[in-house]
Structure 1
Amino acid sequence: METLNFPIDVSGLQSTLHPLLQTIKSSPIIDTLKPSTTADSVAVLLFLLSALGYLTRGRVWDRPDPNYKIYFERPQLVDGESSSKTAATRNIAQCLEDGSYQAVIFWGSQSGTSERFAEILARECLIHFGIRALAADLSDYDAESIAAIRGTHFAIFILSTYGEGDPSDNAAGLWDWIKRVKEENTKLDSLRYLALGLGNSNYKYYNRVLDAVVQVLDAAGATTLVPSRRADDARGATEEDFQSWKDDVFALFRRMGYEEKSVEYQPTVKVELRAAPDPQNDVAHQISVHHQQSSTNSAILPLPVKNARELFTAGDRNCIHMELDLGNNDIVYKTGDHIGIWPCNPDEEVQRLLHALGLEARRSDALEVSPLDGSAKPKVPSLTTLEAALRHHLEICSLVSRKTALDLAQFAPTPEAKTMILEIGEDRERYAQLISTTHVTLARLLQLASPTAPWTSLPLSFVIENVLPLQPRYYSISSSSVISPRRIAITALVVNKALPGKTGSTIQGLTSNYILSASKLPSNASIPTPSFQHTAYDNMESGRVFAHVRKSKFKLPITSSTPLILISAGTGFAPFRAFLAERTKLHAIGKPVGKILLFFGCRSAHSDFIYREELEKMQNSLGDKLEIVTAFSRDGDKKVYVQDRVEEYAGEILEMLDAGANLYVCGKASMAREVDGKIEEAAATVKGLGETEVKAWTDGLKKRGKWKADVWG
């Protein structure tokens, strides 16, 4: 065995210890510290050893390594390069000059959609017009340098708005700079720009980020080359709005003298199908190739369904209460957190797409996917099977975009199919009419254009590139982690939206029907429930769903005596079921509990008043600590909504807020917007506040965590 020798500076050690020993010997209190027992002797020895270790650190042990910096040098540096080489410039104007770019496409994204659009636009600018455009993360550059962009270049902004009209995290620098431009009256006369905003019109501050940026840029003298457009996810039109705006941008390029090139399809990934047994990979950890376990998100695991029951007592809809067993795995949750359910695509849609592609016989073949360039991000793992890719990794049930329809034409199996596809892809009105009456997935579009001939010339790389990766759907957890720490309850409304027209087409909610199928409860709908696979393992019993937990800030106050105002409609009551369960438990054991004012709305007290019996038991236990205010939109002649009841009780709500209550709103964003408006109107009247003062009042409550919302589009 090789002996490792560490040199010790003995002279340094002696010079360090000698003064210490002399000090100890000459101390006037040394006699009082003489150990009288074995324990005392051990304690003194440990003290002396600790002191010795402290004083000799850096001289005898833990000495600095003179080559320490080498560990942090880039391994790719070649001889002659300095390890202190500076990073790329944060000056975007300089970056455009150095890289010979004609344009920059800034993206501000919270979920990745703006980033994806920016990358698509940059790629198509180059291949269709020869325009070199840099897709730029806003956080990678100093926003102040935007002012230095020359008039020979132009900037494109694709900006998302989320929450209370907030910019994405990576757009914080732009947001601050825009405020300074306005305050300092900065001039941006040389800046030419285009802008697209992503948002949801059900939210109160729909596309606020886009509006604020455009307003400031225009006031500062910047020139907009194409009217800004606001994409609206409430209509499910984000993809089409982007495509329409991109058409206008390309029309601008043609007017500017750029020649448009017709290019053939160029894949970004290489896809190979080869006959092989099913890979024995752990599919549970391959449901998403991008999902990462973090401090916010747990790992994805298949969780057994232990209890499920129907919550509606009448009608043609289902609302499922489902409990998932956490067992002995590492997943933990806290009251108010979200659970992300990872659905799989239904058997019917998987079979439909395999049939349209002419690949039914190869469903079990091994699928190998590898990027052809560094920018391509994988959507499916390698290796997997073709069927697994279509079932577990791609959103094949989503609406096909008009751009995808247009690009499909080159692969049409017949001239008739090509003609039809081109008509749909080139005519906005024709496309809009089609999707308004029919839920057009990729498979259904292929079959619509060519009912008999399969699309054998359509590359699988095209399918993988143009279909979005499968994403989780989030539900507010309706159980308390204090009362039920190893079981997570979900409250899910099963969505089946009938489209107008003679086709009888229905959009069946993917995840809600997946949950209904896993529950094994009968459907109340007039149409059959799609069939799903609820496990990826042959030897695992059915009734499991893939899920992960995501932390939330929608939490109860630490002090149980803090009053609560809970406002919900429909399944928005889910987290409040957990809140009330905890408060009821605390009250039962004698802890002080503050007053709770609960608003709950649904269609009818006789059909969809979910958890009614549980709520009545909580009312009996809490007594006057719980006040329940209901709103039914289909009982009687007059429709009463939650926001109407909030308006009636606005005075009491304001009194409770002034007394320190916490206000929570959960449900659809449109309901939350109306509720906000009613409370703000009451505050303006009762407190005598102006519009600006009311906004400052509500913003103050929200910043202090006294007003929280958990809403969806």
Structure 2
Amino acid sequence: MALDSLDLYVVIILVVAVAAYFGKNQFITKPETTGFLSNDSNGGTNSRNILETLKKNNKNALLVFGSQTGTAEDYSNKMSRELSSRFGLKTMVADFADYEWDNLGDINDDILVFFILATYGEGEPTDNAIDFIEFLDNEADTLSTLRFTVFGLGNSTYEFYNAIGRKVDLKLEEKGAERFAEYGEGDDGKGTLDEDFLSWKDGVFDSLRNNLNFEEKELKYEPSLKLIPRDDLTIDDLSVSLGEPNKKYIDTKASVDLTKGPFDNTHPYLAPITKIKELFNSKERSCVHVEFDISNSNLKYSTGDHLAVWPQNSNEKIDLFLKTFDLTNKKDEVFELKSLDSTYHIPFPTPITYEAVIRHHLEISGPVSRQFFLSIAAFAPNEETKTKLTTIANDKSKYAEEITAKKFNIADALLYLSSGKPWNKVPFEFLIENVQHLTPRYYSISSSSMREKTTINITAVVETEIEPDNRIVSGVVTNLLKDIEISKNKSTEKPLVTYDLKGPRSKYDNYKLPVHVRRSTFKLPSSSKTPIILVGPGTGVAPLRGFIRERITQQENDVNIGSSLLFYGCRNENEDYLYKDEWSEYAKKLGDKFEIITAFSRSTSKKVYVQHKILENSTKINDLLQQGAIIYVCGDASHMARDVQQAFIKIISQERKIDLEKASELVRSLKVQNRYQEDVW
């Protein structure tokens, strides 16, 4: 029977769809690695078929990471090296986003699989693990030949603590996979993440020894890469990386338009800072408001998103790090890296200089872990230092007292232990592999995409502490922003630490910084009529400022908006009241649709915080909640967020005359319904 025109049309559509499905991997390409500091020219020898890659490279241990800030990736790499050295395992580290997982069930039991997974926000997977979680939920069949273990990284201040690690562990078990070592999890909220990881790792090693009969050897550094000096090149050669974000920024002859995206953690936009100003009226503390111009790019954002600012280390920290490892005279020397393992990705573009690696690619300013101490002990400058280091590193409480409490970074700690002697026996390959790599710092966007279409605002407190020995402990990006604020505004103030504001080959000249946008679930309700209750002390007010600016724009466009009740707290009305002049203007524009209630913790003898003001307005809050209001809380996770949640529980209990347990269940229900949202850190 002949096909009519409609039937023929349907057949054609089906044929095209099937062809597209089977051919998608030929036409849709994904980056070989999604790491922040990936080397665009490296890799490409392995397919996206995880089983094929394991077999091709003769691997019997797979470590897969779900990482948002680089910690899970760092743990995976460190454990990979230790498994290889101690137990002779042929390890491979993989980013979830680099592979398809359809044949996970075909990985047989002679391959051990380690899942190291962070939970992002309120129980969400990290960006690179989203597809894998969807695969587990919707597509994965039996996994009866898979042998696995899971370590979850989370923060107990969140309601859905370590949700992704726990979920993957249970899902794999439900689908028949065999757990060869017990599930473990770390708590960043309590500051015990490193110790929790070490404890889990010890359990894994016990299982390898006692249950799987692996023979353990002495730990010895076995590099995954080789450093090759390039005496034929200098910093003036255009092929040499001086810290540019990726290869595209190094090749000045490239035809690629760097103002076009997609912009992500492999490719940022160099955004000009058009305005930056100090918000605090204080000699001791500082907070900057920064406006980035995105008008010459196709970079987009939505109100409530985060801006990722790509960091660099300060001149002072770099000089100390160079001194520590006796590299000062080599800082401008050029080298390239060769991978000794076909599955290892060179983490940044090469050829490159020593200084460029230290300035733009290594996390040298943060705290140092016991695990790093134990690894570097073999390269101590003398036996006395080695003994001192291993004694401290093997004693958790002594390490906390001698190293952590003093807020030492790597250079501080090593020079302290060696009494100032340089650690000139440490291979630079070791530092590249064992020092965590710099990752973007994320800031809640404080502007409205509806109102500020071509600019992105952020609000950042400058993190600086001066220790009793006059050491300066400083945040990486916030002090960079402060240095820019002083320079751009021609202030007479002196920055505590300084930066290379021109950037590699002056690409950051005229105050540009590499940035990209990370999508957030912290969003205004879909209906503008929905009331909102906002809680944001300190810089937690940043995204809430964006929300209010959005509602003003909606009203100006004759859109009907609901009530906005904002609770804001700071120390002193005349010192650190952020955007003080703006709130009164917003109140004039929004009338009875907006109210701000303030708490100043150091204005009176009795400290008053936002949770106290919330309790004082219990009837108003309960009325708004019964009208369908959504709660938004932004700021400190360790104390504020918990105290605020308890205040809401108490209000619901008192106003609705139910017990606290029932009220607590209602608040949890609000979170599940996305009617209680948090953006906390």
Shared fold, TM over 0.5: yes
TM bin, normalised by shorter chain, reads: 0.7 to 0.9
> Counterpart in 1 of 2:120?
162
Q: Secondary structure at the match of 2:189?
A: helix
Contact 1:342 1:471 survives alignment (8 Å): yes
| Deviation, structure 1 residue 690 | 7.6
Contact 1:379 1:394 survives alignment (8 Å): no
Quick one: structure 1 residues 406 and 642, their matched pair in 2 at CA, closer, same or farther if it must change by over 3 Å? same
> Counterpart in 2 of 1:476?
444
Q: Secondary structure at the match of 1:546?
A: strand
State which drifts further: 302-311 or 689-698: 689-698
| Deviation, structure 1 residue 149 | 9.7
> Counterpart in 2 of 1:270?
226
| Deviation, structure 1 residue 344 | 0.8
| Deviation, structure 1 residue 335 | 2.5
- 1:679 paired with 2:643, answer no
> Counterpart in 1 of 2:399?
431
TM-score for the superposition, normalised by structure 1: 0.74
Within a 5 Å distance, the mapping from 1:82-97 to structure 2 comes to none
> Counterpart in 2 of 1:280?
238
Within a 5 Å distance, the mapping from 1:177-192 to structure 2 comes to none
Contact 1:309 1:321 survives alignment (8 Å): yes
Quick one: structure 1 residues 545 and 284, their matched pair in 2 at CA, closer, same or farther if it must change by over 3 Å? farther
> Counterpart in 1 of 2:457?
489
- How many correspondences in the alignment? 626
Quick one: structure 1 residues 460 and 593, their matched pair in 2 at CA, closer, same or farther if it must change by over 3 Å? same
> Counterpart in 2 of 1:261?
217
> Counterpart in 1 of 2:501?
534
> Counterpart in 1 of 2:342?
374
> Counterpart in 2 of 1:583?
551
Paired with 2:177 and 2:300, the residues of 1 have a C-alpha distance of: 51
State which drifts further: 674-683 or 659-668: 674-683
Report the AA paired with residue 549 of structure 2: A
Within a 5 Å distance, the mapping from 1:66-105 to structure 2 comes to none
Residue from 420, 440, 449 that aligns with 2:388: 420
Within a 5 Å distance, the mapping from 1:634-649 to structure 2 comes to 634-649=602-617
Within a 5 Å distance, the mapping from 1:11-160 to structure 2 comes to 113-114=71-72, 116-130=74-88, 158-160=116-118
Quick one: structure 1 residues 176 and 298, their matched pair in 2 at CA, closer, same or farther if it must change by over 3 Å? closer
> Counterpart in 1 of 2:680?
711
> Counterpart in 1 of 2:579?
611
> Counterpart in 2 of 1:26?
none
| Deviation, structure 1 residue 588 | 4.6
Report the AA paired with residue 87 of structure 2: F
Q: Secondary structure at the match of 1:398?
A: coil
| Deviation, structure 1 residue 585 | 3.8
Paired with 1:611 and 1:170, the residues of 2 have a C-alpha distance of: 40
> Counterpart in 2 of 1:25?
none
Contact 1:320 1:516 survives alignment (8 Å): yes
| Deviation, structure 1 residue 566 | 1.5
Please list the CA deviations of residues 167-222 of structure 1 after superposition, one character each: whole Å capped at 9, or x if unmatched: 66467479869xx99xxxxxx9x999866432123323433556678899999999
| Deviation, structure 1 residue 569 | 1.0
Report the AA paired with residue 125 of structure 1: L
Report the AA paired with residue 370 of structure 2: R
Contact 2:81 2:222 survives alignment (8 Å): no
Residue from 150, 153, 158 that aligns with 1:198: 153
State which drifts further: 349-358 or 386-395: 349-358
| Deviation, structure 1 residue 378 | 2.1
State which drifts further: 469-478 or 662-671: 662-671
Report the AA paired with residue 480 of structure 2: Y
Paired with 1:216 and 1:688, the residues of 2 have a C-alpha distance of: 40
Q: Structure 2: which 5+ runs fail to align?
A: 28-47, 250-259
> Counterpart in 1 of 2:36?
none
State which drifts further: 293-302 or 484-493: 293-302
Residue from 365, 369, 372 that aligns with 1:401: 369
| Deviation, structure 1 residue 321 | 1.1
Contact 2:307 2:518 survives alignment (8 Å): yes
Q: Secondary structure at the match of 1:321?
A: strand
> Counterpart in 1 of 2:596?
628
Contact 1:603 1:633 survives alignment (8 Å): yes
Contact 1:311 1:321 survives alignment (8 Å): yes
Q: Secondary structure at the match of 1:669?
A: coil
Quick one: structure 1 residues 597 and 114, their matched pair in 2 at CA, closer, same or farther if it must change by over 3 Å? same
Quick one: structure 1 residues 696 and 295, their matched pair in 2 at CA, closer, same or farther if it must change by over 3 Å? farther
Within a 5 Å distance, the mapping from 1:253-402 to structure 2 comes to 253=208, 258-275=214-231, 276-278=233-235, 279-280=237-238, 286-287=244-245, 294=262, 299-314=267-282, 316-402=284-370
| Deviation, structure 1 residue 548 | 1.9
| Deviation, structure 1 residue 568 | 0.9
Q: Secondary structure at the match of 2:528?
A: coil
- 1:241 paired with 2:196, answer yes
State which drifts further: 433-442 or 124-133: 124-133
Quick one: structure 1 residues 323 and 115, their matched pair in 2 at CA, closer, same or farther if it must change by over 3 Å? closer
Quick one: structure 1 residues 613 and 281, their matched pair in 2 at CA, closer, same or farther if it must change by over 3 Å? farther
Higher normalized contact order (CA 8 Å, seq sep 6+, divided by chain length): 2
Paired with 1:252 and 1:640, the residues of 2 have a C-alpha distance of: 51
Report the AA paired with residue 668 of structure 1: D
Paired with 1:328 and 1:166, the residues of 2 have a C-alpha distance of: 33
Contact 1:289 1:381 survives alignment (8 Å): yes
Paired with 1:636 and 1:496, the residues of 2 have a C-alpha distance of: 26
Contact 1:535 1:541 survives alignment (8 Å): yes
Paired with 1:295 and 1:695, the residues of 2 have a C-alpha distance of: 41
Q: Secondary structure at the match of 2:362?
A: coil
- 1:507 paired with 2:473, answer yes
Quick one: structure 1 residues 617 and 546, their matched pair in 2 at CA, closer, same or farther if it must change by over 3 Å? same
Contact 1:299 1:331 survives alignment (8 Å): no
| Deviation, structure 1 residue 513 | 0.9
| Deviation, structure 1 residue 312 | 1.4
Q: Structure 1: which 5+ runs fail to align?
A: 1-15, 21-50, 74-85, 182-187
**Larger Rg, first or second structure (1 or 2):** 1
Contact 1:298 1:549 survives alignment (8 Å): no
Report the AA paired with residue 403 of structure 2: I
Paired with 1:89 and 1:305, the residues of 2 have a C-alpha distance of: 46
> Counterpart in 2 of 1:653?
621
Q: Secondary structure at the match of 1:657?
A: helix
Contact 2:381 2:423 survives alignment (8 Å): yes
Query: Identity of aligned pairs, percent?
Result: 33
Provide the aligned C-alpha RMSD in A.
Answer: 4.9
Q: Secondary structure at the match of 1:520?
A: helix
Contact 1:305 1:518 survives alignment (8 Å): no
Please list the CA deviations of residues 528-561 of structure 1 after superposition, one character each: whole Å capped at 9, or x if unmatched: 6111112223386453322222233333345433
Contact 2:532 2:565 survives alignment (8 Å): yes
> Counterpart in 2 of 1:5?
none
| Deviation, structure 1 residue 515 | 0.9
Paired with 1:602 and 1:70, the residues of 2 have a C-alpha distance of: 53
Report the AA paired with residue 535 of structure 1: K
Paired with 1:691 and 1:191, the residues of 2 have a C-alpha distance of: 44
Quick one: structure 1 residues 590 and 132, their matched pair in 2 at CA, closer, same or farther if it must change by over 3 Å? closer
Please list the CA deviations of residues 283-340 of structure 1 after superposition, one character each: whole Å capped at 9, or x if unmatched: 7993268999548779413322222222112351101112222242332333222211
Report the AA paired with residue 387 of structure 1: E
Quick one: structure 1 residues 672 and 293, their matched pair in 2 at CA, closer, same or farther if it must change by over 3 Å? farther
Quick one: structure 1 residues 383 and 222, their matched pair in 2 at CA, closer, same or farther if it must change by over 3 Å? closer
Quick one: structure 1 residues 225 and 703, their matched pair in 2 at CA, closer, same or farther if it must change by over 3 Å? closer
